[in-house]
Every structure is written in structure tokens, then in C-alpha cells.
Chain A
Amino acid sequence: MIHLQGVSVVYPDGTRALSGIDLQVDRGEFAFLVGASGSGKSTLLHLVYRELTPTEGRIIISGQDVAGLPRERVPYLRRNVGVIFQDFRLLPDKNCWENVAFALDVVGASRKEKYRKVPLALELVGLSEKEQSFPNELSGGEQQRVSIARALVNNPAILVADEPTGNLDPDISWEIIQLLTKIAERGTTILCATHDRVIVDGMRKRVVSLVGGTIVRDARGGGGYDEP
């Protein structure tokens, strides 16, 4: 589903962000990406949703090499790769329902499609009751749920999460990760960058550790933050 082969990224200022990355994440798999700040976690995620192109190597997403994808094709890739962030990135002047529907609006979904898909997405994240609430009326955990609903409403094959629990307290973080696990079980591939040792140790999922832009450990069968 996600397949990186010999990928390196060198920034224009000469900084080497990633070198010789080989990584494969299968359909429905849930993998944590761990490492200190500056280890290359975010750079790797950027490659998956084509925010960045690699200096070297191939990146195959759902069977398609996206490294050489022409600019005008990038939006179509993004419809297949949902992204969530630490800061939720919701639109403050739109309520929950509208925030989720926004992802459908911009890809030209019909009204009928919106009224079918938005309630399903909100139900999946457990926010059906709050669809009329605005982001400032929601807790951090609820806001992250809205952003997950928005990322999933187009039914992407892949969900990329960049520190999704970074702004949340431990209990809420745990709920969000449980929600992501549930989503993976439905067949969505999830790549989740995190600093959260407790969560990683508690989940015993696959852990890919990055140090200085290279993979130093890939606990495929499940592991903790530091140890297999």
C-alpha cells in the first residue's frame, strides 16, 4: 500500500533529512513512526502525501509511483491519502458538519453524496450528537475526531497522522489512538508519527524508529517505543 524504496531527501540548503529509506506498510496495517525531533518523521510523512518529492528513490502509493507524479495529478492522490495533524486544522467559522463536508465540497461531491457520507463519518468518530457545534465549542479530543472524520470522508486507502495526540492529555490521546486502530481494522492503512512513548508501548503495534534520517529499527511484529 505504501512502499518506499531507497528514498533520500536532501533539502536545498544541503541538510540530509532522510537517507536510504526502505519501508513497506501493507493494507490495513497500523504502523508507528517514532524518533526524536528532526529524525525525519515528518519528512517521511510529507513524501507519502506528496507535499515533498524525494531526491532519490521511489515512492509507491496504492501501486502508483508518486515521486514523478505531475503536479496536476497530486490532488487526486490526496483524495486517497487522508492527513491529520497535531493542531487539527479545522475551519473556525464552520461547524462540525460543515468542516467534514468541506472535504467533499472541494472535490465536487453532489449534495446527495454529502448528506450520505458526512453523517457516516461523524458517526464513525462518535460525534453525531455534535454536528452543529463549532470548533471552539469542542474539546481538543473532539476537534481531533472532527479532523479524522474530515480525513476519512472521502474513503482514502491511507491515513497519515502527524503527532495526532501531541496536543491532547493522556486519556484523550488513548481514545484517539483506539479510534485509529478501529479505522485500521476497517482496512485503512495508517502511518502515525508520534513522540508518545506511553501510547506506543501500550499498543504493541508495528514500530519504525528513525534516527538522523535512517531507519534503525523496524519492529514488524509489534513492539514498544525503545525495545522490540
Chain B
Amino acid sequence: MNLSMVEFLLQQTWQAIRRNGLMSLATSSNMAVALLILSGFFLMTLNLQHMADVEARKANITVDLEEDADAAGIEAELWGDMRVGEIRSRSKEEALEDYAAIMGGGDPESFVEALGENPLPDAIIVSPKDPQDMAAVADVARNIEGIAEVRYREQVTGKLLTLAHGIKIAGVVAAVLMGVATLLIVSTTIRLTIYARRREIRIMQLVGATNSFIRLPFILEGAFHGVMGGAVSTILVLASYSWVHAYVAQHLSFMELVYSSTFAVLFGLGAMVCGILFGVVGSVIGLHSYLREV
């Protein structure tokens, strides 16, 4: 393919887009809306997952030991479980210091004096490799001899993970529906373009243009709608997301959103690639069902 061929193809593509002005606008806009919705679901899922991960990393199991338990033996037994990622022991003195700190500081000794003795047990802190295994590891710990109590915070992590999972499913369903709608619209636009240019295509066939040469401008047209839709949706999504990020950082500081310039660039590229993919596949569908009849 030489330079004048490329020039000719681009010229054909641009002409088709201009000639079908309104339809082209509708197609690019629809692509933008589809990508906007997909991006929304993607960002929600991503952030919930991220929050769940952050939360899960903090989460661990506290295993309270009985008074005269064999701490080393219990630790060894826990290490025997493949799902255990980290083990740390905490003496009753450390537990008391932690407690004192939580209660607003103060001298730990004063608590001992007040209570007569340190009531807190020695403990082992266990973190599973995968937060999902929290309950299973806790069960294993419960069955070991010499353990008084097993405690962990399952609620927050579990709920976040369930929510992220639900949104991911909803996102996939929405993605499929929007994807199908977008493909239909793109392929219809391409069919209209083909119809508008059927004389030209007929002549191209008669003077010996190859099929791929005839198809290329339509595929480029689909890709154009993808790029336009991707660009518009990226601008809208990133603008509103940076606003949300700023708001969350200021008012809901316990939440942490995924946000960086690398992320913004990757996100934009991703939206663009998705758009181009939609556009090209839509064109191919339109061409496939129509071009052979021309």
C-alpha cells in the first residue's frame, strides 16, 4: 500500500463521515454513552475491590491463648496450614499497652493496679495469605488445644467483597447489553454508508478494487466513531472522577480511591481501545451482512 492509496482511503472515510453528518454524530454519541456507562461500572468495581483489599490487608485473626498453653507448639501447628501468611505473637503485656492506648493513653500499670492483675491473655495474631480464607483459618485455630478464643473482624471485608462482586456482575451485564446496542448502531450506520455509496462501490468492484480495499474505509469509519466516543467519554469520566476524588479526600477521608496520572492515562487508552474495538467489530458486522449484496 503506497502513500496515495492511504490518502485515498482516508479521503473516502472522511467523506462518508461528513456526508452522513447526523448519523455519524449519533453513532459517536452513542459510543460515548456506552463507554461512559461501562467506565462508571468499571470505576465502581475497581474502587470497591481496592477498598476491600486495603481493609483485608489490615484484617487479621486474634487467637487468645489459655493461661499455660504451649505458644510455640500452637504457632507450629498454625504454620502447618497452607493458607496462613503471617504469624506474630503478642504477650499479655503488649496487649495491655494496646488496650491502654485505645482507652485514650495512660499508664498501663494503673490498669493493673485498678484490676489487681492483667486480665488480658497472651495471644497469637494470624493473617491469612488471602483474606477470603479468614473464616477457614479461624476454624482451624479453634480446634487447636490450648486456645481460649478466636476473634476476627469479618464483617467489613466480607461486605465490601460481596458488594464489589455484585457490582462486577451488574457491570458485566450492563457491558454486554450496552455492547450489543452499540454494535447494532455502528453496524446500522455502516450499512447506511454502504447504501449511500453503493454506486461508487459497484464501480470500484468493476474497475478491479480488491474487497479489502473496498472494506477498509468502512472499518476506518467504525474506528473513527470508537475514537470519538472514547475521547468524549474519557474526558467526561475523568473530569467527574477527579471531582469525586477531591470530594472524598476532603469529606470521607477514611475512604481511599484509586487515583493517579498514570491511572488516568491508562484509563483513557483503555476507553479508546474499547471504543475502537466496538467500532471495528460493528463495521465488520455491517459489512458482512450487506456488502456482498451490493
**Once the chains bind, are B199 and A102 in contact (CB under 8 Å)?**
no
Selecting from B2-10, B126-134, B280-288, the interface stretch reads B2-10
**Once the chains bind, are B211 and A75 in contact (CB under 8 Å)?**
yes
CB neighbors of B among A71-90 (8 A): 71-72, 75-79, 82-83, 89
Residues in B whose Cβ lies below 8 Å from that of A83 = 206
**Once the chains bind, are A79 and B4 in contact (CB under 8 Å)?**
no
Contacting B209 at CB < 8 Å: which of A72, A82, A107, A114? A107
Total chain B interface residues with beta-carbon distance under 8 A: 20
Give residues in A with beta carbon < 8 Å to B: 49, 71-72, 75-79, 82-83, 89, 91, 102-103, 105-111, 114, 150-151, 154
**Contacts across chains A and B counted by CB atoms under 8 Å:** 60
Residues in A whose Cβ lies below 8 Å from that of B200 = 91
Does B102 make an interface contact (CB < 8 A)? Answer: no
Residues in A whose Cβ lies below 8 Å from that of B3 = 110-111
23 A-B contacts, Cβ less than 8 Å apart?
A49-B206, A72-B210, A75-B205, A75-B208, A75-B210, A78-B208, A83-B206, A89-B203, A91-B203, A103-B208, A105-B5, A105-B8, A106-B209, A106-B214, A107-B207, A107-B208, A107-B209, A109-B4, A110-B3, A110-B4, A111-B4, A154-B207, A154-B208
Does B213 make an interface contact (CB < 8 A)? Answer: yes
Contacting B199 at CB < 8 Å: which of A89, A110, A151, A154? A89
- CA A109 – CA B4 in complex, angstroms? 7
Residue of B4, B204, B208, B209 with most partner-chain A CB within 10 A = B208
Chief secondary structure at chain B's binding surface: helix
Residues in A whose Cβ lies below 8 Å from that of B5 = 105, 108
Does B115 make an interface contact (CB < 8 A)? Answer: no
Question: A111's closest neighbor in chain B, by CB?
Answer: B4
Residues in B whose Cβ lies below 8 Å from that of A114 = 4
Residues in A whose Cβ lies below 8 Å from that of B114 = none
**Once the chains bind, are A75 and B202 in contact (CB under 8 Å)?**
no
Residues in A whose Cβ lies below 8 Å from that of B8 = 105-106
Identify the 9 closest CB pairs spanning chains A and B, nearest first.
Answer: A106-B209, A79-B208, A78-B208, A103-B207, A108-B5, A75-B208, A75-B210, A105-B8, A111-B4
Task: State how many angstroms separate the Cβ of B197 from the closest Cβ of chain A.
Answer: 10
Give residues in B with beta carbon < 8 Å to A: 1-5, 8, 199-200, 202-211, 213-214
Question: A92's closest neighbor in chain B, by CB?
Answer: B199
- CA A154 – CA B207 in complex, angstroms? 9
**Once the chains bind, are A106 and B207 in contact (CB under 8 Å)?**
yes
Task: State how many angstroms separate the Cβ of B11 from the closest Cβ of chain A.
Answer: 9
Residues in B whose Cβ lies below 8 Å from that of A72 = 210-211
Task: State how many angstroms separate the Cβ of B132 from the closest Cβ of chain A.
Answer: 54
Contacting A89 at CB < 8 Å: which of B4, B202, B211? B202
**Once the chains bind, are A79 and B199 in contact (CB under 8 Å)?**
no
Q: Assuming A89-B206, A107-B208, what are 13 further A-B pairs, CB within 8 angstroms?
A: A71-B211, A75-B208, A78-B206, A78-B207, A83-B206, A91-B203, A102-B204, A105-B5, A106-B204, A110-B3, A114-B4, A154-B207, A154-B208
Task: State how many angstroms separate the Cβ of B50 from the closest Cβ of chain A.
Answer: 50
**Once the chains bind, are A106 and B213 in contact (CB under 8 Å)?**
yes
Residues in B whose Cβ lies below 8 Å from that of A151 = 207
Question: B212's closest neighbor in chain A, by CB?
Answer: A72
Contacting B207 at CB < 8 Å: which of A79, A110, A111? A79
Task: State how many angstroms separate the Cβ of B89 from the closest Cβ of chain A.
Answer: 74
Residues in B whose Cβ lies below 8 Å from that of A103 = 207-208
Task: State how many angstroms separate the Cβ of B199 from the closest Cβ of chain A.
Answer: 7
- CA A84 – CA B76 in complex, angstroms? 91
